[in-house]
Amino acid sequence: MRRATLRSLLAHKLRLALSAVAIVLGVAFVAGTMIFTDTLDRTFTALFQSTASDVGVTAEAGFDAGVDGTAGTRPVPAELAQRIRGVEGVAAAEGYVQAEGVYLLTADGQVLDTGGAPGIGASWITDPELSLGELTEGRAPERAGEVALDSGSAAEAGYTVGDRVTLLTPGPRVDATVVGVFTFGEDGGLAGASLTAFDLATAQDLTGAGDGYTGIQVLAADDVTDAELRDRVAAVVGDGYDVQTAQQQADEQSAALEEGLSFITVLLTAFAVIALFVGSFIILNTFSMLVAQRSRELALLRALGASRGQVTRSVLVEAAVLGVVGATLGLAGGFGIATGLRALFGTFGLTLDGDLVLSAGTVVWSYAVGVVVTLLAAWVPARRAARTPPVAAMREDHVAVERSLRRRTVVGAVLAAGAAVTLVGSAVAEDGGNAPALVGVGALALVLAAVALSPVAARPFARALGALLPRLAGTAGRLARDNAQRNPRRTAATASALMVGLTLVTGFGVLGASANASVDALVDDALRADYVVSTAVGQPFTPEVADRLRGLDEVAAVLQERFTQVQLDGQAVFAAAVDAATLDRGLTLEYLSGSSDGLAGRGVLVDETTAEARGWEVGDTVEAVSAGGQRAQLTVGGVYAANQAVGSVVVSLETDAALGGPALDRYVHVVLAEGTDAAAGRAAIESVVESYPVVSLKDRDEFAGEQKGQVDQVLLLINALLVLSVVIAVLGIVNTLAMSVLERTREIGLLRAVGMTRRQLRRTVRLEAVLISVYGSVLGLGLGLVLGVSLTRALAEQGITELVVPGGRLVGFLVLGALIGVVAAAWPARRAARMQVLDAIATA
């Protein structure tokens, strides 16, 4: 029995290879995604989580502000470090200062590109046991005018010890000499961020920390546990400080990290699920074909006395062997895919250092997909083959039993109904915060429903669309249509990989187009100033820029805009902080009650939604708490219609400062003086902005373009990921078609014998592929539209106010779908055409 199995496997080398390829593809896709996700996770975790101390002390936060750096924090007084050193069990304690907004300039005066990652400035921790940095060259900075650079930034900018460098800081520019180069953390990885180390005094000056610290790091003596030490330190420092063990810090930061990176994590997890889906489909498809094709052979074994169990078992053993081999190769292929993804992310400035991460989870899932899915794929047809009475199977053209699609119809309908309820629910949800999650659940249900229902719809679709084919392509067209209709399950399964890919591409296409339209609307409706000065990604920069612009004759008004997180009556919100005096010159707010005058004193403006939700009216008093713990009583001074430029809450710069907000601008809006020539005005502003390489000057169109550029970049990244799924889908179609061609060897021989030319035969295969891929594309477009519209609606509160369906692009996707069919058919079609007529006829 075993020998018979082995022989038959070897006898069909091509089939075997195709099945193995399917498993390798499927597993590689899953493994690649997981390896990459883990690597990404590891890199970010290393960036935020690395800590060398046993206990850390920081000022207690007013509330949990997450990882976003918009909230100001109170400094820790220096004398506290002294007190902590006196605690029993403390081996060492050292204060440090750390802040964002410190950028290294390259030799030609440009800001070193961090790809959106922060530029961090910090004091050098002198105790080597507490320091995360490890010098690889030179020494630590000891006085003003000396810095040490992280090795990544130094290498990228081409600096070594002894070079003179210029740094942009939240305060003034700094010229310094590089005295050292260091690696950071265990992997030396900063995920693209740059880290510049100063001596403590300089760092305190630059970040405006006075003689205080950002925090204090404490090293425990050998005879004391971290928890014990924490309790002792906490007793000494008293209220108003967070004292945490390294483990607590790591846990807290990783929780915050997860929240901060939720977008990427959700995206990649979704992608891994898609990978699992697509991979399983390809394997299921191919392997069930492989077994179905051999049903006659299996029937012969039955006729010769093999039991049902023996037949089923022999197929399963074969599947298991193939699954293990395929999964192993697929795992290797996954490394290739992950390497490619890393290179791709690298081109977007997100550098992932260190080796790729192969976690146990990846291995388990790879083999689960490779082996379990293959076994499942083999088991169903094997059992069916074993059940077929030997005589029936041995007959020349035994009728393939057509299984009913009723169960699928029912399951699909239930899922579709669930999806509809969830999606409609997301549209009418009161609490907008849950809407995106609801859309996610609805989308999953919708895709599953489509997968369940697509075999049901495959036949009518092939018939309807295929009705054109005989007219366009004669017999080739009709045969293509008939072949596509012949096995609706297979047609659907082949198409579904493409469907899933196109669903997401379309959905994100709608979202992206809507986001871009929203940017236009924002610029048209809310921006009033002639120019905006900002960094490319809304990072903070020095208020010197605004001060100097205010001094220009060509400038009539300057509006500084900052963002902060603050708790109002117990609920955290994002607030914009602006110049009260120039708010109405730089931005358009539509006041429903009150006006910009309401910002005076400790005034606050809120948007309509917030006012309604909280029941606030002009004149009400609100309790504000900053992340640093500062408190203030604010008076509602006005209510405005929803505005994307400022968000839901506006305070004055003075109020923000009182709440401990750092004196760093995110946007500066500039209004030209009346009668100023536009070119002259721009030149004047440019002359100021030029000396701050981190910011740039944009007119309204340029500003819109820059914002849209960011949307497009995110979309590009998502699409690049999805292209991979489409590529895998195409390979899946190639595989299924190649198997179909093999399966129809005798038919092809017959067709050739009665006079079908090679060209006609190729065309038949090609048309069948096009029919299948267009089917997948149409389903994908439909689902993607539903998904995109729901997602856009759900994200209305996040600023995507417009809904745009990019019709031209969708038509493009459909054409692309058809082209994919042509491309996928190329090899199987050639194989079909190359078959020797006599061999084909002789094949039983």
Partner 1 sequence: MTPVQQTYPAVPAAPAGVPAARGRALTKVYGRGDTRVTALDAVDVEFRRGEFTAIMGPSGSGKSTLMHCMAGLDSLTSGQAWIGDAELSALDDTGLTRLRRDRVGFVFQAFNLLPTLTALENITLPMDIAGRAPDRAWLDEVVDAVGLRPRLGHRPTELSGGQQQRVACARALAGRPEVVFADEPTGNLDSRSGGSVLSFLRSSVREMGQTVVMVTHDPVAAAYADRVLFLADGRIVDEMTSPTAERVLDRMKAFDSAGRVVEVG
Q: Which residues bind partner 1 (CB under 8 A)?
A: 396-397, 399, 474-475, 478-479, 482-483, 485-486, 746-747, 750-758, 760, 837-838, 841
19-50 burial code (b ≥16 CB/10 A, e <16): bbbbbbbbbbbbbbbbbbbbbbbbbbbbbbbb
Write down the least CB distance from residue 406 to partner 1, Å: 22
Residue among 474 and 812 whose Cβ is closer to partner 1: 474
Residue among 177 and 760 whose Cβ is closer to partner 1: 760
Residue among 278 and 748 whose Cβ is closer to partner 1: 748
Write down the least CB distance from residue 832 to partner 1, Å: 14
Beta-strand relationship, 649-652 and 603-607:
antiparallel
Angle between helices 246-260 and 226-237 (to 10 degrees): 90
Rounded distance between C-alpha atoms, residue 357 and residue 706, angstroms: 35
Rounded distance between C-alpha atoms, residue 177 and residue 173, angstroms: 14
Write down the least CB distance from residue 741 to partner 1, Å: 15
Rounded distance between C-alpha atoms, residue 705 and residue 520, angstroms: 9
Write down the least CB distance from residue 748 to partner 1, Å: 10
Q: Which of 766, 728, 562, 552 is nearest to 650 (CA)?
A: 562
Let me know: does 454 contact 779? Beta carbons within 8 Å.
yes
Write down the least CB distance from residue 424 to partner 1, Å: 42
Rounded distance between C-alpha atoms, residue 293 and residue 384, angstroms: 12
Residue 549 tokens, joined = 């612009």
Write down the least CB distance from residue 394 to partner 1, Å: 12
Residue among 10 and 754 whose Cβ is closer to partner 1: 754
Report how far Cα 171 is from the mean position of its chain's Cα atoms.
34
What are the φ and ψ backbone dihedral angles of 181, each rounded to 5 degrees? -130, 135
Q: Which of 450, 459, 511 is nearest to 783 (CA)?
A: 450
Q: Which of 19, 728, 740, 736 is nearest to 322 (CA)?
A: 19
Which residues have C-beta within 8 Å of that of residue 690, sequence separation ≥ 6? Answer: none
Residue among 400 and 417 whose Cβ is closer to partner 1: 400
- DSSP-derived letter for residue 105 is B
Write down the least CB distance from residue 35 to partner 1, Å: 44
Residue among 108 and 396 whose Cβ is closer to partner 1: 396
Residue 753 tokens, joined = 């014998």
Residue among 422 and 764 whose Cβ is closer to partner 1: 764
Alpha helices in 188-307 (DSSP H): 200-206, 226-237, 246-260, 262-293, 295-303
DSSP calls for 123-180? EPP-STTT-SEEEEEE----STTEEEEEHHHHHHHT--TT-EEEEE-SSS-EEEEEEE
Residue among 135 and 770 whose Cβ is closer to partner 1: 770
Angle between helices 758-794 and 435-466 (to 10 degrees): 150
Residue among 299 and 697 whose Cβ is closer to partner 1: 299
Let me know: does 780 contact 498? Beta carbons within 8 Å.
yes
- Upper half-sphere CA count for residue 737 (Cβ side, 13 Å): 33
Question: Please, what is the Cα angle at 547 between 121 and 550, to 5 degrees?
Answer: 150
Rounded distance between C-alpha atoms, residue 836 and residue 386, angstroms: 32
Residue among 420 and 841 whose Cβ is closer to partner 1: 841
Let me know: does 708 contact 801? Beta carbons within 8 Å.
no
Write down the least CB distance from residue 486 to partner 1, Å: 6
| CA torsion through residues 299, 302, 304, 306, sign | positive
Residue 29 tokens, joined = 């896709």
- DSSP-derived letter for residue 592 is E
Residue among 386 and 480 whose Cβ is closer to partner 1: 480
Residue among 126 and 760 whose Cβ is closer to partner 1: 760
Residue among 396 and 553 whose Cβ is closer to partner 1: 396
